């Protein structure tokens, strides 16, 4: 019975991830795993913009560096900011209880988020923040409405404003 439940969960996870995107059109992330320079930039942006709050607690720094062709000296200089050693797991700088206090929920680990949601979901999510003065951090997200996360990439993307259109019901 236990195996059946686990198998059902594993089979339904992709359907749940698809359903979670709702009516939002997901943009193509256009991922090219052979583009090592792009992957290295992604690691840099994650370390600089995401890792203060989010961890990759199922990944070691040196494994990431080996996968992306990053020499250990560059790894230590440019991607490890918390005094960790290259063989350690990629833990967030923020304590879990601080995340709950500041954001209203535990800040999730992102190790497997692209497998759970999809690279296109993550790409669209990161691009879909917009100004919303009713939210605690002044932003909301089309893909994940009422998310408790600030728009950490606003300095790179700029401020997006929502554009509303009036919808009219078809007359019958």
Tell me if 38 sits within 8 A of 69, measured CB to CB: no
Separation CA 69–CA 66 (nearest Å): 5
pTM of the model: 0.75
Round the CA-based radius of gyration of the chain to a whole number and report it: 19
pLDDT by residue (tens digit) across 19-68?
A: 444 589 999 999 999 999 999 999 999 999 999 999 999 999 999 999 99
Separation CA 138–CA 159 (nearest Å): 10
pLDDT by residue (tens digit) across 104-124?
A: 888 999 999 999 999 999 999
- What is the per-residue DSSP string for 38-78? HHHHHHHHIIIIITTT--EEEEEHHHHHHHHT--HHHHHHH
Separation CA 137–CA 147 (nearest Å): 10
């Amino acid at each position: 019975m236990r195996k059946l439940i686990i198998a059902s969960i594993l089979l339904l996870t992709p359907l749940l991830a698809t359903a979670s995107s709702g009516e939002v059109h997901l943009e193509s992330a256009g991922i090219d795993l052979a583009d090592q320079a792009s992957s290295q930039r992604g690691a840099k942006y994650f370390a600089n913009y995401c890792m203060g709050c989010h961890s990759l607690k199922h990944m070691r720094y040196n494994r990431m560096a080996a996968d992306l062709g990053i020499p250990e000296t560059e790894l230590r200089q440019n991607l490890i900011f918390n005094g960790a050693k290259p063989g350690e797991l990629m833990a967030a700088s923020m304590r879990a209880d601080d995340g709950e206090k500041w954001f209203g929920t535990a800040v999730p680990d992102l190790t497997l988020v692209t497998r759970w949601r999809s690279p296109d979901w993550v790409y669209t999510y990161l691009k879909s923040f917009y100004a919303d003065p009713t939210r605690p951090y002044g932003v909301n997200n089309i893909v994940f409405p009422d998310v408790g996360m600030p728009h950490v990439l606003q300095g790179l993307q700029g401020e997006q404003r929502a554009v509303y259109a009036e919808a009219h019901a078809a007359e019958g």
